[in-house]
Structure 1
Amino acid sequence: MALRTSTTERQRRLGAELRKLREQAGYSVTEGGEFIGMGRAHLGHVEAGRTAIPAEKLRTLCHSYGCTREPLIDALVAMGEDSGKGWWTEYRRTLSQPVLDLAELEAAADALFSYESLFIPGVLQTPEYTRSIFRSSERPHDDLERAVQFRMERQQILTQPEPPTLHAVIHEAALHVRFGGAAVMRRQLLHLIRMAELPHITIQVLPFTAEGLSAFSTPFLLVHSHGSALETVLVEDPAATIYVNESDAVLPYRTRFDRLRAASLPPLDPAVPASTHEARDSLALLQHLIYNLQEA
């Protein structure tokens, strides 16, 4: 039994879900292994994400634990059968594993819910805006153009034949921070309007005037995947990328996003006639900022 020397977030998540089902059923690792003719150490490695488990054994294990949620079992089988060899594997030598894990997570997504306080979400950025962010970073990339290219390739999920839905809430502050200068920001804001024309993309602006919410709460990305059978929250911390998978821990982020969405201006809707934008909404705000950038 060859063990992986390093594990991806997908592999760790699969193992963690199997361990959670076992513990909820009240079985030990030894007892769990007996259900599928697997030794204690072997199942321990599966639960740690260090080795694979055949689909048939995985299904038997889940059923033995009393799991009746077939969508969840199907999702776990899909995770186990996934080779993990997507377009992002070409970047293994130049980018860190957490960055690659994000691309793999997005590739499996059914729906993305993003909140950003100081930046435009990565999947909605223009190349020059991204480049400016990387150049201003305290930890610049060794290969800046390679990093920019990677972020642009991540955006392909939004234009593929069956894209995930994306609902992005962007704090108004992110629209004022001029990464790359006025011209770059103007093109970035115009790009947001163009992306909002896609039927599966919803973009809202959380204004400075929003009440009842902290001005700059921690940005996060909530991901539904595998037919929404699995939920994952990604939180960017200065020291590390944190993945939140436990349902009790995910729930506050779901609630948080609902509050942010409710406090935000109505979504960008370029198809709505201009006369309807007399009231303040996300599109009217962006158009105002774009006008000001022309004067800068």
Structure 2
Amino acid sequence: MALRTSTTERQRRLGAELKKLREQAGLNVTDGGAFIGMGRAHLSHVEAGRTAIPTDKLRKLCHSYGCTSAPYIDALVSMSETDGKGWWTEYRRLLKPPALDLAELEAAANSLASYESLFIPGVLQIADYTRAIFRSSQQDWSDKDREKAVQFRMDRQKILTTDQPPALHAVIHESALHVRFGNADVRRRQLLHLVRMAKLPHVIIQVLPFTAEGLSAFSTPFLLVESHQSTLHTVLAETHAASAFLHDADSFTKYRSHFHRLAAAALPPLDPDVAAYDHGTHDSLGLVQHILYTLQEH
């Protein structure tokens, strides 16, 4: 039994789901392993994501635990059978595991809900805006590494233009539209890019204005991901210290409730198809147009 020297978020998630099913069935590791002829230590490694589990044993284990949801079991099988390789593989030497895990997670997503307080969401950034962020935050990178990291973020955005793209709902705090990453031209082009992306039928973009009340507690960015036909849910909670992937139902329910409150307090979505005279600063496009006007003065 070969053990992995490092594990991905997907591998840890699969193990965590199997552990959750076992505990819900009221079984210990020894009893769980007995169903599939697997020793206690071996199943412990599976639940920790340190080793794989054959598909037939995975299905038998789920049924032995009393799981009857075929879509959920199929989702676990899909996670187990994939080799985890994708376009992000070539960036392994440069970027840390959380960034690669996010790319893999987004690739399997059918729905994304993003809240950002100081940045435009990564999947909606233009290259020059991303480049300006990295110049200020990754000053120890070489120009070559910085450009490769910029390309990584641009490659992430391709999920929005695939044949079956995930639905994206982004709530962006107004402060992110004012923070200066790049010169006035870069910021103007970034805002115009938001307007263009809002034309996609599966993309909703809202701005949370400074005037919104009672939401100061929600300053920490987070991302809600639904994957495998919404049978699996993940929260990516961002802090200055680290990124945390949360899978438990309570966390997802809490953050989803936060997101609904933020969306309800935000201005109506960007809608480039509405005639200009119908817009004002009371909606997201009107606010973006107002900021664009101020940038033209620079």
Matching residue's letter, 2:18: L
Describe the superposition over 1:239-290 as per-residue Cα deviations: whole angstroms up to 9, x where unpaired.
Answer: 2211110001211100000000000000001011122214610001101111
Partner of 1:108: 108
Aligned equivalent of 2:246? 244
2:48 aligned partner, one-letter code: A
Structure 1 residue 106, shift from structure 2 partner: 0.5
CA shift for structure 1 position 212: 2.0
Asked if structure 2 preserves the Cα contact closer than 8 Å seen for 1:169 and 1:260, the reply is yes
Matched, 1:235 2:231: no
**Matched letter for residue 91 of structure 1:** Y
Please tell me whether residue 277 in structure 1 is matched to residue 279 in structure 2.
Answer: yes
The secondary structure found in structure 1 opposite 2:292 is helix
Partner of 1:22: 22
Q: Secondary structure of 1:295's partner?
A: coil
Q: CA deviation at 1:138?
A: 5.7
- Identity within the alignment, %: 72
Distance in structure 2 (CA, Å) of the matches to 1:204 and 1:133: 22
Q: State the match for 1:43 in structure 2.
A: 43
CA–CA distance in structure 2, aligned partners of residues 49 and 23 of structure 1:
17
CA distance in 2, matches of 1:41, 1:295: 67
TM value normalised by structure 2: 0.97
Distance (Å, rounded) in 2 between the aligned partners of 1:131 and 1:285: 25
Structure 2 unmatched ranges of 5 or more: none
C-alpha distance in structure 2 between counterparts of 1:152 and 1:20, whole Å? 36
Deviates more, 1:207-216 or 1:283-292: 207-216
Shift of 1:238: 1.8
Residue matched to 2:155: 153
Tell me the residue number matched to 1:175: 177
Matched residue of 1:193: which SS? helix
Which amino acid in the other structure matches residue 270 of structure 2? L
For the residue of structure 1 that corresponds to 2:289, the secondary structure is helix
Q: State the Cα deviation string for residues 133-180 of structure 1 (Å, max 9, x = none).
A: 000116643410010010000000001110000000000000011210
8 A Cα contact 2:280 2:287, kept in partner = no
CA distance in 2, matches of 1:203, 1:292: 21
Shift of 1:104: 0.3
The one-character-per-residue Cα deviations of 1:96-117 (angstroms, maximum 9, x if unpaired) are 1111001001001000000000
- What residue in structure 2 maps to residue 90 of structure 1? 90
Tell me the number of residue pairs that the alignment of Structure 1 and Structure 2 aligns.
296
- Deviation of 1:215 after TM superposition, in Å, equals 6.5
Give the conservation status (yes or no) of the 8 Å contact 1:134–1:140.
Answer: no
Match of 1:164 in 2: 166
Instruction: Supply the RMSD in Å over aligned alpha carbons.
Output: 1.2
The separation in 2 between residues aligned to 1:249 and 1:203, in whole angstroms, is: 24
Tell me the residue number matched to 1:265.
Answer: 267
> Where do residues 183-202 of structure 1 align in structure 2 (5 Å cutoff)?
183-202=185-204
1:120 partner amino acid = I
TM-score, normalising length from structure 1? 0.98
Aligned partners of 1:279, 1:186: CA distance in 2, in Å?
Answer: 17
Aligned partners of 1:126 and 1:62: how far apart in 2? 44
The residue type paired with residue 241 of structure 1 is S
Moved over 4 A (4+): none
Gaps of 5+ in 1: none
Q: Please give the alpha-carbon distance, in whole angstroms, between the structure 2 residues aligned to 1:199 and 1:268.
A: 12
Instruction: State the alpha-carbon separation in 2 of the partners of residues 278 and 50 from structure 1.
Output: 55
Kindly indicate whether the alpha-carbon contact (under 8 Å) linking 2:281 and 2:290 is maintained by their aligned counterparts in 1: no
Q: Using a 3 Å threshold, how does the CA distance of structure 1 residues 140 and 270 change in structure 2: closer, same or farther?
A: farther
Partner in structure 2 of residue 254 of structure 1: 256
Return the alpha-carbon distance in structure 2 between the equivalents of residues 203 and 247 of structure 1. Answer: 26
